[in-house]
Amino acid sequence: MKNHYDVCILGGGLAGLTLSLQLKQANSEISILVIERRKGDAPDAAHKVGESTVELGTHYIREVLDLKDYLDEHQLPKEGLRFFLTPQHKEDISMRVELGPKETLPVPSHQLDRGTFENELANRATKLGVDVLFNSKVTNADINEEKHTVTYVSDGAEKNITSRWVVDASGRSSFLKRKLGFKKELSHDINAAWFRVKGEIDVAEWSDNKEWSSYIKPGLRRLGTVHFMDKGYWVWFIPLATGNTSIGIVADPRHHPFEKFNKYEKAMEWLKENEPLCYKHLDTKRDDVLDFKILKHYSHHSEKLYSTDRWAVVGESGIFLDPFYSPGTDFIAISNTFVTDLIVRDKNEEDVFLRTNVFERAQFSLFNNWIPIYEDKYQLWGLTQTMVLKIYWDWAVYWSVPTLLFTNNGFTNISVLKELFSSEQKIGHKFGQLNLQMQQIFVEWSKHDTETFTNKYIDFFDSDILAVFHKGIDERYTPEDLIKKIHDNVSILEKMASEIFRLMSNKIYDTSEELKVNPYHMSLLKKPTDDTDGNPSESHIKNDVKVMWLYN
């Protein structure tokens, strides 16, 4: 142990350990201390949420941290997100509308057993020269312009070290946020409860309908992140590499009060009422339950993320929105990449004042643009056509801009960020406005989505647009070409939005499917007319969107 470090990381969970690896890989000379409360190795199927990753976070772990071989050998492949809608058919899974890939996806993602994974991260960090201190509790961090002093208790004794940078990765305890007082309220109010059970649970075995079983390749249903959905909630099933299964309930208290499922027995009764088929297959596993955890009002915001006084917050210490779509590792990847860039440049005696402020604004912009995807949207979760279109849209948004930016190092390229986000006239701001507009359209449309759809299987990769966006994640661009590609992708999103709107308007008001639509001005609150600033329909976009349209 040293008395002074370049970086002291408060917390040795997923965010803190991945950051320590990323820093060491970027510059092996950076000295790092990680202070972690747990006594030692995390148990298998660790008592944490965040097992499901999607493409951005997976790219970070596989490619940036160079853990591809480890993931392929020791963790499970994830065969996409799979959604079971049509809550009118909860007793028969084969009757529900199902969304999910029928083939292995070209761009990989993984289901993580957080216990075994974090143990691997700690071992690798130690081998790279990171001092990882377990069974230790941080009690104070004195932030000083010249150097910071961190006080912690280890083996019953109070100790101090100094560091040039302090990074808070303490998770929901949010050490620096509480100490420095930069908490920010977030009105998105959702609660969660989850538990693990011994053994595999394969939803593909829940029906003997041979036609339903034949829709996709064997094994893909089990290896996906499975969602069962109805108004105000979703239930997840996630397989783990240890052979166990994670089950979670996530619900809006306006529709499903937290006290109805905040204890294991209550959760089982809630499942019996709301997802009886899930209950049936879990009831026989009561003796195999490994743990049970809850989080109330789990979403939180922050007034600060990165400071020119050389401190930062990463992971759940700073911001967290919602586990739907599994974005937690994505935000860790982005924040860790920003912080690594700042620390490495500072180590090289570069001035990072400008970059600190630009990175913070960029991450807040991304987070704030993502809030409308969830806020007040749990009311839509039980509407089949609404959710087919919303998930279709949300994935297009995710793959076409933020994921592409990350895989092409766009988030740490100041010229790229400036060109995309420096003013309200830039394409990055239009992208946020467009998404906000579409989220409102889904709400306006929802009251007209009244039909029950039965026994339909939808693969998003039957959409050429989504297939191209997804494959494009692995394409590499120069900064100039990346900017052009983002412009092109937002143009496609504008046309998608217009076509979705035309179909909705035609269903509600019998308007023409050739209606001229400006996607930034559209509304379903009254009968639309041709917008003089609108764009005409394009047949290839129309045909693509109609793949997701269930109404005749």
Q: Would 238 be classed as within a structural domain?
A: yes
Looking at the DSSP bridge assignments, the partners of residue 255 are none
Per-residue pLDDT, 50:
56
Residues 6+ apart with CB under 8 A from 493: 396, 397, 400, 431, 434
325 and 412 belong to one structural domain: no
Domain match, 91 and 195 both = yes
Write down the residue that tokens 């092996």 correspond to.
28
Beta partners for residue 131, in sequence order: 33
Burial, 532: exposed, middle or buried (Cβ in 10 Å; 0-12, 13-18, 19+)? exposed
Asked if residue 343 lies in contact with residue 30, where contact means CB atoms within 8 angstroms, the answer is yes
Q: Which residues is 228 bridged to in the sheet? A: 84, 235
pLDDT at residue 522 above 70? yes
Residues 4 and 123 in one domain: yes
Do 324 and 409 belong together in one domain? no
104 and 149 in a common domain: no
In sequence order, what are the residues at sequence separation of 6 or more whose Cβ sits closer than 8 angstroms to the Cβ of residue 187? 375
Neighbours of 63 (CB within 10 A): 12
Whether 358 is covered by a domain: the verdict is: no
Tokens of 468: 């191209």
Is residue 45 predicted with pLDDT exceeding 80?
no
Within this chain, do residues 437 and 471 fall inside the same structural domain, yes or no? Answer: yes
User: Do residue 403 and residue 434 come from a single domain?
Assistant: yes
pLDDT digits (tens, 9 = 90+) for 447-486: 999 999 998 999 999 999 999 999 999 999 999 999 999 9
518 in Cβ contact with 433 (< 8 Å): no
Q: Tell me, yes or no, whether 340 and 474 share the same domain.
A: no
Residues 6+ apart with CB under 8 A from 320: 172, 298, 299, 300, 328, 331
pLDDT digits (tens, 9 = 90+) for 88-132: 999 999 999 999 999 998 898 999 988 899 999 999 999 999 999
349-363 tens-digit pLDDT: 999 999 999 999 999
Give a yes or no: residue 140 inside a domain: yes
CA distance 420 to 490: 11
Give start and end residues of each alpha helix (H) in 290-426. 328-347, 353-374, 384-400, 402-407, 414-421
The token duo for 483 is: 């900017």
Q: In this structure, how many other beta carbons lie within 10 angstroms of the beta carbon of residue 211?
A: 10
Q: Return the closest-CA partner of residue 184 out of 458, 381, 371.
A: 371
CA distance 221 to 79: 8
Last residue of a domain, one of 256, 282, 298: 298
Percentage of the chain modeled with pLDDT above 90: 92
Range of the domain at 134: 1-46+112-184+304-350
Neighbours of 443 (CB within 10 A): 16
Mean pLDDT of the chain: 95
Q: Please state the pTM of the whole predicted model.
A: 0.96
Total tally of structural domains belonging to the chain: 3
Beta pairing class for 4-10 and 32-35 = parallel
Within a domain: 172? yes
Verify that 80 and 14 share a domain, yes or no. no
The answer to whether residues 148 and 286 belong to one domain is: no
Last residue within a domain, chosen from 275, 298, 321: 298
| CATH code for position 278 | 3.30.9.100
Residues of the chain with pLDDT > 70: what percent?
Answer: 98
Tokens encoding 50: 């965040």
Q: State the DSSP H helix or E strand holding residue 269, giving kind and residue range, or none if neither.
A: helix 264-274
* For the chain, counts of helices (H) and of strands (E): 18, 20
Rounded Cα–Cα distance for residues 490 and 484 (Å): 10
Q: Please give the full DSSP string across 162-220, using - where no structure is assigned.
A: EEEEEEE--GGG-HHHHHHT-EE------EEEEEEESS---GGGG---HHHHTTS-TTH
Q: Are strands 32-35 and 131-133 parallel, antiparallel or unpaired?
A: parallel
Which pLDDT band holds residue 44 (cuts at 50, 70, 90)? low
Query: At which residue do the structure tokens 């996630």 appear?
Result: 238
Asked if residue 355 is part of any domain, the answer here is no
For the chain, how long is the longest CA-to-CA vector?
75
Asked whether residue 261 carries a pLDDT value surpassing 90, the answer given is: yes
Whether 375 is covered by a domain: the verdict is no
21 shares its domain with 37 = yes
Q: How far is CA 121 from CA 143, 344, 371, in A?
A: 28, 20, 30
Specify the higher pLDDT residue, 177 or 46.
177
State how far the Cα of 101 lies from the Cα of 462, in Å rounded to an integer: 9
Section 194-206 average pLDDT: 96
- The span from the first CA to the last CA of the chain, in angstroms, equals 69
Residues 321 and 345 in one domain: yes
Q: Confidence class of residue 504 from pLDDT cuts 50, 70 and 90?
A: very high
Q: What is the CATH number of the domain that holds 123?
A: 3.50.50.60
Contact call for residues 357 and 308 (beta carbons, < 8 A): yes
Cβ atoms of residues 363 and 305 within 8 Å: yes
Rounded to the nearest 10 degrees, what angle do helices 353-374 and 414-421 cross at? 50
Does residue 52 sit within a domain? no
